[in-house]
């Protein structure tokens, strides 16, 4: 699904050049749920940004869903983001001027999709996260956990193949974090590939596979058998 | 482009959006009227005179000493002017187009009528007037030699000795007789009925009080003498004008030692002087319109830039969710279009309000309806031009802004 080889990302300012990623190689298979951990500043967000086509790497190759995306233009990258990728951010990133319904509608509007189809998808997605009753509310009127569920609904509505989450529970208390995690696990069970950055070891332990990033490089912790037990216990 | 989500988002930005809309509305209202006034003024100054202005020169003289034979001398002088090389015609008339000082009279259809129908200007001219001025006779005939009288004789004479035939302009004919053929018709000049024997296409008045009657002139077959504002008019090619004027001054000094030349001017110069005020006014209004447009455009640029700055994050989010640069650009363009449209709608109502007020207080015609679509298109364009730079800046917000807020 996602294959990076010898990827590097340098940020150049006038004075210094810092490498956020260096010789970064990773392969995420279709249907995997990968948790990415690592110290602050190690390059996790940079990795997700490149994976989600929000930033371009300085070197190396990146294949997404079997396609080399290195040479694609801005519009093509926008279309791929819109159709194949769902984003969940730490800060929820809902649009404050739009109500919940319209927020979920945003990515669908960028596709040429009939309004009936959009309506169906929005209602389904909001039902799935349990917020159908709040459609006409504005983000500011919801709790953090509810806002993050709206963001998940927004990501789901486009039925993406790849879900990228950057510390999705970072701004939530434990209880809300668990609810969000549960939701992600359900989505994963339905077939989505998920890459999630988290600082929470408990949450990381619930993923199929853990990837540790240190200093812009991957330390793959592989598949922990303990995790499989956890997952099967929840799904049972 | 979908309007609905943009309108939904705008509802949460009412104040700022309303500010721009009001600015546009004011601009629209003022500019529609100002443009109308400008065009009105410029149209005035290009009103047709009916004569080849660049070929005509007027010469005014004034007396410095008594001379009982002055009228005879004046006519002799006229004859000598015709002999100057380059002079194609010379005439002596009481007033000239755009010459400002004018003889006017209110006209009635019959002497017993109470109300005058129209105020017209009165030209007194000799046999050479028509050919010298080059005015176009479109119906009837010019006066015959035997029909001319002398102004001096006319002066103290009873009404009955006034000329009984007259040549009028087409416009005066319409004012007097509507769409009917004026030829052969009579109207009252003072208490004397006069009959129309010819119609001129145009012959503009010396001074225009009202644009609607600028061409209301009539000509009587009356030979002027030297006094009473009588002026020589010479017809000459533009390139001969200076030489002809110099020669004419010499001839006049020889022929009339007791008179001096007061002023020589081409008809084109007279027109220029006549409409100087209008041009200054139009220039002033153009300056107002341009500054208003600039101020409005700057207002839009300012607010749009502020908005883009404030919405950087949500632009980044939209980009992350799959918006192309073009879609972001169009979002801001559409938003501007919607706000400007509201402004225009309000502005048009205001434009008509202002126009009504101007009509009432300054006797101006009603703002023609076609100014509104023209104004609307102009403001839409203005809005789009003004929003382009901020919208392009918005489109260049990197998608990573969603994950790395600055
Ligand atoms: N736009 C940028 N310009 C310059 N340096 C940057 C930029 N973005 C990130 N970096 C640097 O790249 C490195 C990796 O940053 P990144 O945000 O990927 O870390 P992270 O692992 O997500 O950290 P955190 O856990 O704090 O979110 C850091 O040293 C950071 O300072
Ligand atoms: Mg990060």
Let me know: does B27 contact B380? Beta carbons within 8 Å: no
Ligand nearest to the CA of A214: 1
Q: Is the pLDDT score of B121 beyond 60?
A: yes
Strands (E) located in B163-286:
165-169, 186-189, 192-200, 217-223, 231-236, 259-266
Q: Is the pLDDT score of B184 beyond 90?
A: yes
Please count the residue pairs, one from chain A and one from chain B, whose beta carbons lie less than 8 angstroms apart.
Answer: 88
Question: What pLDDT shows up at residue B406?
Answer: 61
> CA-CA distances (angstroms) from residue A7 to A50, A62, B256, B313?
10, 7, 106, 27
Q: Is the pLDDT score of A165 beyond 90?
A: yes
B185: confidence class by pLDDT, cuts 50, 70, 90: very high
- What is the rounded distance in angstroms from the CA atom of residue B204 to the CA atom of residue B185? 22
B363 φ/ψ sector (left φ>0, alpha ψ -120 to 50, else beta): left
Ligand 1 binding pocket mutation candidate from A19, A35, A45 (most atoms within 8 A of CB): A45
Nearest to A2 by CA among A55, A65, A80, A50: A65
- What is the rounded distance in angstroms from the CA atom of residue B356 to the CA atom of residue B366? 7
Beta bridge partners of B266: B57
Give the atom of ligand 1 at the shortest distance from the alpha carbon of A48. 18
Let me know: does A59 contact A50? Beta carbons within 8 Å: no
Nearest to B91 by CA among B202, B221, B216, B200: B221
Contact status of B1 with chain A (Cβ, < 8 Å): no
The pLDDT tens digits for B310-333 are 999 999 999 999 999 999 999 999
Give the H or E element holding residue B71.
Answer: helix B70-82
- What is the rounded distance in angstroms from the CA atom of residue B154 to the CA atom of residue B94? 14
Residue A11, number of CB atoms within 10 A of its CB = 12
Q: Is the pLDDT score of A225 beyond 50?
A: no
- What is the rounded distance in angstroms from the CA atom of residue A78 to the CA atom of residue B33? 47
- What is the rounded distance in angstroms from the CA atom of residue A129 to the CA atom of residue A114? 23
- What is the rounded distance in angstroms from the CA atom of residue B351 to the CA atom of residue B347? 6
In terms of pLDDT, which residue wins out, A7 or B72? Answer: A7
Let me know: does B153 contact B129? Beta carbons within 8 Å: no
Question: Å from B364 to nearest chain A CA?
Answer: 47
Chain A residues with CB under 8 Å of B13 CB are 97
Rg of chain B taking only CA atoms, in angstroms: 32
Rounded to the nearest 10 degrees, the angle between the axes of helix A225-235 and helix A174-189 is: 90
The pLDDT tens digits for A30-66 are 999 999 999 999 999 999 999 999 999 999 999 999 9
For domain A2-235, give the fold: Rossmann fold (3.40.50)
Q: What pTM was computed for the model?
A: 0.77
Q: What is the mean pLDDT of residues B63-90?
A: 88
Q: CA of B402: which chain A residue's CA is closest?
A: A93
Domains in chain B: boundaries:
4-46+276-403, 53-274
B139: tokens are 């119906």
B238: tokens are 């533009």
Nearest to B298 by CA among B206, B389, B175: B389
CB contact under 8 A, A75 and B313: no
> What long-range pairs does A112-119 form, CB within 8 A, spacing at least 24?
none
CB contact under 8 A, B322 and A98: no
A223: confidence class by pLDDT, cuts 50, 70, 90: low
Question: What pLDDT shows up at residue A230?
Answer: 40
Question: What pLDDT shows up at residue B332?
Answer: 93
Q: CA of B312: which chain A residue's CA is closest?
A: A95
Q: What is the DSSP letter of B49?
A: -
CB contact under 8 A, B404 and A45: yes
- What is the rounded distance in angstroms from the CA atom of residue A210 to the CA atom of residue A217? 14
Beta bridge partners of A8: A59
- What is the rounded distance in angstroms from the CA atom of residue B350 to the CA atom of residue B342? 13
The pLDDT tens digits for A125-144 are 999 999 999 999 999 999 99
Exposure string for B387-404, b = 16+ CB within 10 A, e = fewer: bbebbebbbebbbbbbbe
- What is the rounded distance in angstroms from the CA atom of residue B2 to the CA atom of residue B49? 56
Q: What is the DSSP letter of B211?
A: G
The pLDDT tens digits for A13-26 are 888 888 999 999 99
Choose from A58, A94, A95 for mutation: most chain B CBs within 10 A.
Answer: A95
Q: Give the Å distance between the CA of A45 and the centre of ligand 2.
A: 4
- Residue with CA nearest ligand 1 atom 6: A11
CB contact under 8 A, B318 and A79: no
Let me know: does B249 contact B261? Beta carbons within 8 Å: yes
The pLDDT tens digits for B132-154 are 999 999 999 999 999 999 888 88
The pLDDT tens digits for B221-276 are 999 988 888 899 999 999 999 999 999 999 988 888 888 888 999 999 999 998 99
Q: What is the mean pLDDT of residues A205-213?
A: 91
Q: Is the pLDDT score of A233 beyond 50?
A: no
B108: tokens are 């009635």
Let me know: does A212 contact A20? Beta carbons within 8 Å: no
Chain A residues with CB under 8 Å of B324 CB are 74-75, 78-79, 110
B164: tokens are 């009984």
Question: What pLDDT shows up at residue A89?
Answer: 92
B71: confidence class by pLDDT, cuts 50, 70, 90: confident
Note the Cα B179 to chain centre separation in Å.
25
- What is the rounded distance in angstroms from the CA atom of residue A142 to the CA atom of residue A176? 13
Pairing of strands A193-197, A33-37: parallel
The pLDDT tens digits for B6-45 are 888 888 888 888 988 999 999 888 888 888 888 888 888 8
A88: confidence class by pLDDT, cuts 50, 70, 90: very high
Q: Give the Å distance between the CA of A68 and the centre of ligand 1.
A: 25
Q: Is the pLDDT score of A231 beyond 80?
A: no
Ligand 1 pocket by Cβ (under 6 Å) = A 11, 18, 20, 38, 40-46; B 404
A89: tokens are 């951010």
Residue A25, number of CB atoms within 10 A of its CB = 14
B207: tokens are 């001074």
Q: Is the pLDDT score of A226 beyond 80?
A: no
Q: Is the pLDDT score of A228 beyond 50?
A: no
């Amino acid at each position: 699904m996602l294959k990076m080889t010898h990827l590097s990302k340098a940020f150049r300012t006038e004075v210094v050049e810092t490498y956020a990623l260096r010789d970064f190689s990773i392969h995420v298979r279709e249907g995997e749920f990968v948790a990415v951990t690592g110290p602050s500043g190690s390059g996790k967000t940079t990795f997700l940004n490149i994976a989600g086509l929000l930033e371009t790497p300085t070197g190396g190759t990146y294949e997404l869903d079997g396609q080399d995306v290195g040479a694609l233009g801005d519009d093509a990258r926008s279309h791929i983001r819109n159709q194949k990728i769902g984003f969940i951010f730490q800060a929820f990133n809902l649009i404050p001027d739009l109500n919940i319904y319209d927020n979920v509608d945003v990515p669908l509007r960028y596709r040429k999709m009939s309004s009936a189809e959009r309506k169906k998808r929005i209602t389904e997605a909001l039902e799935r996260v349990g917020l159908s009753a709040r459609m006409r509310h504005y983000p500011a009127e919801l709790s953090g956990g509810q806002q993050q569920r709206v963001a998940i609904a927004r990501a789901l509505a486009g039925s993406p193949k790849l879900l990228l989450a950057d510390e999705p529970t970072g701004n939530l208390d434990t209880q809300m974090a668990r609810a969000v995690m549960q939701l992600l696990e359900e989505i994963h069970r339905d077939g989505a590939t998920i890459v999630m950055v988290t600082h929470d070891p408990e949450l990381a332990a619930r993923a199929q596979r853990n990837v540790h990033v240190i200093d812009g490089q991957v330390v793959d912790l592989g598949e922990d058998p303990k995790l499989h037990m956890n997952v099967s216990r929840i799904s049972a | 482009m979908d309007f609905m989500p943009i309108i939904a988002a705008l509802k949460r930005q009412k104040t700022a959006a309303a500010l721009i809309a009001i600015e546009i509305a004011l601009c629209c209202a003022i500019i529609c009227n100002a443009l109308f006034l400008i065009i009105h003024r410029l149209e005035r100054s290009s009103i047709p005179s009916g004569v080849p202005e660049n070929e005509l020169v007027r010469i005014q003289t004034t007396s410095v000493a008594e001379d009982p034979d002055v009228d005879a001398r004046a006519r002799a002088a006229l004859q000598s002017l015709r002999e100057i090389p380059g002079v194609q015609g010379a005439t002596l008339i009481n007033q000239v187009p755009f010459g400002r000082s004018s003889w006017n009279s209110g006209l009635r259809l019959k002497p017993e009528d109470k109300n005058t129908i129209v105020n017209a200007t009165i030209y007194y001219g000799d046999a050479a007037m028509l050919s010298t001025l080059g005015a176009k006779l479109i119906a009837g005939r010019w006066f015959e030699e035997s029909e001319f009288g002398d102004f001096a004789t006319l002066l103290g004479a009873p009404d009955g000795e006034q000329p009984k035939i007259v040549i009028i302009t087409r416009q005066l004919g319409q004012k007097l007789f509507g769409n009917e053929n004026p030829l052969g018709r009579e109207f009252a000049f003072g208490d004397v009925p006069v009959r129309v024997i010819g119609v001129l296409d145009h012959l503009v008045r010396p001074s225009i009080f009202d644009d609607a009657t600028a061409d209301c002139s009539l000509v009587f077959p009356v030979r002027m003498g030297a006094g009473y504002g009588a002026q020589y008019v010479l017809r000459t090619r533009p390139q001969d004008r200076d030489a002809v004027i110099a020669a004419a001054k010499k001839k006049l000094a020889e022929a009339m030692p007791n008179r001096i030349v007061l002023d020589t001017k081409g008809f084109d110069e007279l027109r220029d002087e006549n409409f100087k005020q209008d041009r200054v006014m139009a220039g002033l209004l153009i300056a107002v319109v341009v500054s208003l447009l600039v101020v409005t455009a700057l207002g839009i640029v300012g607010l749009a830039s502020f908005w883009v700055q404030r919405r950087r994050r949500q632009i980044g989010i939209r980009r992350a969710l799959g918006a192309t640069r073009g879609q972001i650009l169009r979002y801001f363009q559409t938003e501007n279009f919607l706000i400007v449209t509201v402004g225009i709608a309000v502005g048009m109502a205001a434009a008509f309000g202002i126009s009504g007020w101007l009509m009432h207080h300054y006797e101006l015609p009603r703002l023609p309806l076609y100014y509104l679509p023209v104004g609307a298109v102009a403001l839409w364009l203005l809005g789009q031009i003004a929003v382009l730079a901020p919208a392009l800046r918005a489109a260049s917000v990197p998608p990573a802004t969603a994950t790395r807020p600055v």
